[in-house]
Amino acid sequence: MNVRSLYTKISLLLALSTIVIISGCTGQTSASVKISESFTIAEVIDGDTVKLENGQAIRLLGINSPEADEHYYKESGDRLAALVLWKNVKLESGPEDKDRYGRLLRYIFIGDTFVNLQMVKEGYATVYILNPDEKYYLEFKEAEKDAKEKKMGVWFSSGVQACIEIVEFNYNAVGNDNENLNGEYVTFQNNCDSAIKMDGWAVKDEATNTYTFKGFALGSNSKVTLYTGSGNNAGDKLYWNKKQYAVWNNDGDTLFLRDEKGNLVLNYKYP
């Protein structure tokens, strides 16, 4: 083989390799974000779930709205209905196509309105980012911060949000969590100069686990620790009295703290 023929073959191989690499990269990029054609929303289930005309359920990405037994449930659903019901929308997918219930995971747009973000801006939903979908994370967090500061929607309460914070959260107990229930705990602190009556307040996870405070008041500039397992309530120690299974998922969960009227005081997502 002469030198010219060798150079020609090498050049062709390099060109083909470049085409393959570019094609592969382009395919990956277009697959991560897909904007669909228009669809019509035929039903609103609640503040974060809708159905198309063909019956397919859509779970709005990036947000979480109140459940049926929680404060602001009806208002959240009504607001989403006002935004999307019987309107033509465009859907944008994220890294995951569906959730475990078979619902499509999508961002919804109507013209210039980003519906998911609008629900957070107006206080009808809180931020719930499903990893690794972080595309609109900053926009969502900024909108939630603004709604919280203005006490809009789910954030409206008696004004104690600024007083209560989580100062320690051990959601991953040593060893098997189900065998070390009191190794799982969360500590709340009252940073204000007056006591906060928490009778009727509730702590809840993303599932259905709920702890309700009974006849308890958190003193000014004081802490209280809520343990998952069993024990005798005393002073700064309270017990959920779970007997068999841990509450907090090690790979990620959200703690919701609501006052006696169902108003959201804390929305703490980890990790």
Please list, in sequence order, all residues whose beta carbon lies within 8 angstroms of the beta carbon of residue 198, skipping any fewer than 6 positions away.
213, 216, 217, 218, 259
Same domain, 212 and 248: yes
Same domain, 223 and 190: yes
Does some domain include residue 259? yes
Q: What's residue 172's pLDDT?
A: 98
Residue pair 177/171 in contact by the 8 Å Cβ criterion: no
Does some domain include residue 30? no
Q: What's residue 28's pLDDT?
A: 33
Q: What's residue 130's pLDDT?
A: 60
**What is the domain extent for residue 234?**
164-270
Convert the pLDDT of each residue in 177-233 to its tens digit.
Answer: 999 999 999 999 999 999 999 999 999 999 999 999 999 999 999 999 999 999 999
CATH code, domain carrying 147: 2.40.50.90
Please list, in sequence order, all residues whose beta carbon lies within 8 angstroms of the beta carbon of residue 246, skipping any fewer than 6 positions away.
173, 177, 178, 181, 184, 228
Convert the pLDDT of each residue in 103-123 to its tens digit.
Answer: 999 999 999 999 999 999 999
Same domain, 135 and 173: no
Phi, psi of 144 (to 5 degrees): -65, -40
Catalytic residues: 59, 67, 103
Burial of 227 (0-12, 13-18, 19+ CB in 10 A): buried
Q: Give the residue from 140, 142, 125, 53 showing the smallest Cα distance to 94.
A: 140
Residue pair 108/60 in contact by the 8 Å Cβ criterion: yes
Same domain, 44 and 141: yes
Convert the pLDDT of each residue in 156-184 to its tens digit.
Answer: 766 787 899 999 999 999 999 999 999 99
Selected residue with higher pLDDT from 25 and 264: 264
pLDDT tier, 86 (very low <50, low <70, confident <90, very high otherwise): very high
Q: What's residue 131's pLDDT?
A: 63
Does some domain include residue 147? yes
Last residue of a domain, one of 109, 137, 155: 155
CA dist., res. 211 & res. 147, Å (int): 26
Does some domain include residue 67? yes
- What is the rounded average pLDDT of the residues 94-98? 88
Q: What's residue 135's pLDDT?
A: 85
Same domain, 168 and 133: no
Convert the pLDDT of each residue in 122-154 to its tens digit.
Answer: 999 999 886 655 789 889 999 999 998 888 998
Residue pair 58/106 in contact by the 8 Å Cβ criterion: yes
Domain count, the chain: 2
Convert the pLDDT of each residue in 33-73 to its tens digit.
Answer: 566 678 999 999 999 999 999 999 999 999 999 988 788 89
CA dist., res. 238 & res. 233, Å (int): 5
